[in-house]
C-alpha cells in the first residue's frame, strides 16, 4: 500500500478523484484546475474553489496578526478565482476553533475578512463554526463569475509566458519571519499577499487571447509544470528575465543568499502566470501600464512536451525538475 507521502498531494488527488463516477453534464471543468467551472446563464460561468489554512502548517500565530491572517485566508481563495479570469462574489468560511482562541482574536480575524470583502466587493455569505480542540483551521470556499474562463489547458508552442508583479518575496519573507530586523516588505508579501483580482479583470475585459493562466501558489516552476502538463507543451524561461523586487535583490545581495531557488520554487507569490501569442503583447503592455501594474515576459512555450527548462545567465540551459511544491505530507 502506497503512503500519502509517496503519492504527494497531486498524486493523492489524482488517485482519489479517479474513484468518482458522477460528473455533471454541464460542468466545463471539474477537479484539476484552480477552480471548477460551469455555466449559470448565457455567457456567464460560475467558478468555485476551496482552500484551507491549518495552524503550524500554513501559518503560525506567533508570526502573524489575526487581522493579517483573516486577510490572507480570503486572499488565497480569491487568487484562485483570479487565476480563472473570474470576479469573486461570495465566500463561505468555516472556522475550526480550539479553546485557546479568544473572542477578541476572532473579532480581529473578522476585521481582516471584512477588509478583503470590502476591497473586492465579496460577500461573506455563510459558514460553519465548530469546536476543534486540537487545531485551529480556516476553510474558505469562494464563488465567482467569469465571462471568459482562462484554464491551464490552452498554451501553444510559440506563446509567450508572462507573470505579474515580482517573484520570491513571499518565500524569502517567510524565512525572515522569526529573524530580527526590519523586513516589513518581504514578510508582508508572505503574511498579507495581494490576490490579483484587478489584474485578472483587466485581462478578462481585454481582447487579449490569453491561452492559459494559473496563480503561483506552489512556486513558479511547479505551477508552470501544471500549465505544461494540462496543455501538453513545454516551456523555456530565462534566469535574467525573472522579476525581482528591489527589496528582494538588496536582501539577497547583502546577505549572500542565492535568489534563484526563491524565484523558481518559493511558492505563495499569488502572482498570475499566463501565456499569450506574441501579437497580444502590445495590448497587454498598454493595459498594464495604464493600471500601473508590473507585468514581465519570462519565457516562451515550446514543443518539448511537459518539460520546463531554464536558460541561465551564462547561456547554458538545464531542464528543471518538477518539484512537488509544498509537499507537507
Q: Does 135 bind its own copies (CB under 8 A)?
A: yes
Q: By CB under 8 A, what part of segment 4-43 binds its own copies?
A: 4, 7, 9, 12-13, 15-17, 19-24, 27, 30-31, 35-36, 38, 40-41
In whole angstroms, what is the distance from residue 326 CA to residue 264 CA?
A: 13
In whole angstroms, what is the distance from residue 83 CA to residue 79 CA?
A: 6
Residue 305, CA distances (Å) to 172, 218, 225 in order: 31, 21, 10
Residue 277, CA distances (Å) to 84, 208, 210, 295 in order: 18, 9, 8, 15
In whole angstroms, what is the distance from residue 64 CA to residue 48 CA?
A: 27
Q: Does 125 bind its own copies (CB under 8 A)?
A: yes
Q: By CB under 8 A, what part of segment 39-78 binds its own copies?
A: 40-41, 46, 48-52, 54, 56-58
Select from 61, 63, 65, 110 the one that contacts its own copies (CB under 8 A): 110
Q: Which stretch binds its own copies (CB under 8 A): 108-116, 151-159, 282-290, 311-319?
A: 108-116
Q: Does 185 bind its own copies (CB under 8 A)?
A: no
Q: Does 89 bind its own copies (CB under 8 A)?
A: yes
Q: Does 293 bind its own copies (CB under 8 A)?
A: no
Task: Give the nearer residue to its own copies in terms of CB position, either 47 or 176.
Answer: 47
Task: Give the nearer residue to its own copies in terms of CB position, either 23 or 290.
Answer: 23
Q: How far is the CB of 47 from its own copies (least distance, A)?
A: 10
Q: Does 184 bind its own copies (CB under 8 A)?
A: no
Bridge-based pairing of strands 123-131 and 160-164 is unpaired
Q: Cα 313 to the chain's mean position, in Å? A: 27
Select from 63, 65, 92, 257 the one that contacts its own copies (CB under 8 A): 92
Select from 68, 69, 73, 117 the one that contacts its own copies (CB under 8 A): 117
Residues with Cβ within 8 Å of 94's Cβ and at least 6 positions away in sequence, in order, are 127, 128, 129, 130, 137, 138, 139, 140
Question: Greatest CA separation found in the chain?
Answer: 57
Q: How far is the CB of 256 from its own copies (least distance, A)?
A: 32
Amino acid at each position: 500500500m502506497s503512503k500519502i507521502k509517496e503519492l504527494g498531494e497531486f498524486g493523492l488527488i489524482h488517485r482519489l478523484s479517479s474513484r468518482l463516477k458522477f460528473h455533471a453534464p454541464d460542468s466545463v471543468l471539474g477537479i484539476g484546475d484552480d477552480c471548477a467551472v460551469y455555466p449559470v446563464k448565457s455567457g456567464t460561468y460560475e467558478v468555485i474553489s476551496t482552500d484551507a489554512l491549518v495552524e503550524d502548517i500554513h501559518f503560525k500565530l506567533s508570526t502573524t496578526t489575526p487581522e493579517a491572517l483573516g486577510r490572507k485566508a480570503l486572499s488565497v481563495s480569491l487568487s484562485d478565482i483570479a487565476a480563472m479570469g473570474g470576479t469573486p462574489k461570495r465566500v463561505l468560511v468555516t472556522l475550526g476553533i480550539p479553546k485557546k482562541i479568544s473572542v477578541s482574536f476572532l473579532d480581529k480575524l473578522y476585521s481582516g475578512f471584512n477588509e478583503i470583502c470590502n476591497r473586492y466587493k465579496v460577500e461573506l455569505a455563510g459558514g460553519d463554526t465548530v469546536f476543534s480542540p486540537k487545531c485551529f483551521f480556516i476553510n474558505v470556499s469562494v464563488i465567482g463569475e467569469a465571462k471568459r474562463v482562462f484554464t491551464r489547458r490552452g498554451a501553444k508552442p510559440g506563446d509567450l509566458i508572462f507573470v505579474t508583479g515580482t517573484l520570491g518575496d513571499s518565500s524569502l519573507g517567510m524565512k525572515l519571519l522569526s529573524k530580527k530586523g526590519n523586513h516589513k516588505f518581504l514578510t508582508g508579501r508572505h503574511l498579507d499577499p495581494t490576490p490579483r483580482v484587478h489584474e485578472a479583470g483587466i485581462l478578462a475585459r481585454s481582447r487579449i487571447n490569453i491561452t492559459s493562466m494559473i496563480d503561483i501558489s506552489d512556486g513558479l516552476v511547479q505551477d508552470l509544470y501544471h500549465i505544461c502538463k494540462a496543455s501538453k507543451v513545454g516551456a523555456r524561461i530565462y534566469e535574467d528575465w525573472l522579476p525581482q523586487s528591489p527589496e528582494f535583490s538588496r536582501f539577497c545581495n547583502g546577505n549572500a543568499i542565492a535568489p534563484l531557488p526563491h524565484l523558481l520554487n518559493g511558492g505563495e507569490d499569488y502572482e498570475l502566470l499566463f501565456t499569450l501569442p506574441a501579437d497580444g503583447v502590445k495590448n497587454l503592455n498598454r493595459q498594464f501600464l495604464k493600471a500601473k501594474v508590473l507585468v514581465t515576459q519570462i519565457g516562451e512555450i515550446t514543443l518539448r512536451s511537459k518539460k520546463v527548462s531554464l536558460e541561465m545567465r551564462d547561456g547554458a540551459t538545464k531542464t528543471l525538475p518538477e518539484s512537488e511544491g509544498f509537499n507537507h505530507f
